[in-house]
Amino acid sequence: MNCYFLEATAFAKLFVQEPGSEALIRLLETVEDNRKLIAASTPLELYAAIRRRERAGGIAAEDAARALDSLRVEAARTVQQPLNPAVLEAARLLLDRIAGADLSLRWPEALQLAAALVAREMFQGTEIVFVSTAAHLLAAAKSEGFTTADPTVEQELAETA
């Protein structure tokens, strides 16, 4: 069985209806909660994004409140990789390693991928699928040996199930 590390762009699709939301929801309905992984920073990142969309008028206050309630519930149901020194060091190493390649990561993206790397070390013997909608982050995850999936490409997501 696979574990799924949901990077913030993918996890967000559970709370705001966007392309890929339905495919991701269908997949996660078949996965036990202890096989859904996120970085501990992801709920805060999404909280800020939902509030930012609300303030900009992109989402109604009632919809934002529902999304934030769902975020709290779903975040509590997932395994959260703490942002401990091992994750921070892995992020720093990623920034050094990937900076010279055709890929480039910002620090929040490096933190997400680093959390997945540390989680993979903890769950040795378990395949961890890195789920994101950011093409450059999926490429970086592939370069680190992850199986990847983009929920906006439904076939790709189904192949990892």
β-strand pairing of 127-131 with 2-6: parallel
Name residues whose C-beta falls within 8 Å of residue 56's C-beta, 6 or more positions apart in sequence: none
* pTM of structure: 0.92
pLDDT attached to residue 159: 66
Pair type for strands 127-131 and 79-81: unpaired
- Any idea where the domains of the chain sit in the sequence? 2-160
Q: H-type helices in 78-153, by residue range?
A: 85-99, 107-122, 135-143
- Cα–Cα distance between 79 and 17 in angstroms, integer? 23
User: Which CATH code fits 2-160?
Assistant: 3.40.50.1010
Mean per-residue pLDDT pooled into runs of 10, the chain (161 residues): 93 90 90 95 96 95 95 95 96 84 82 97 93 94 95 73 65
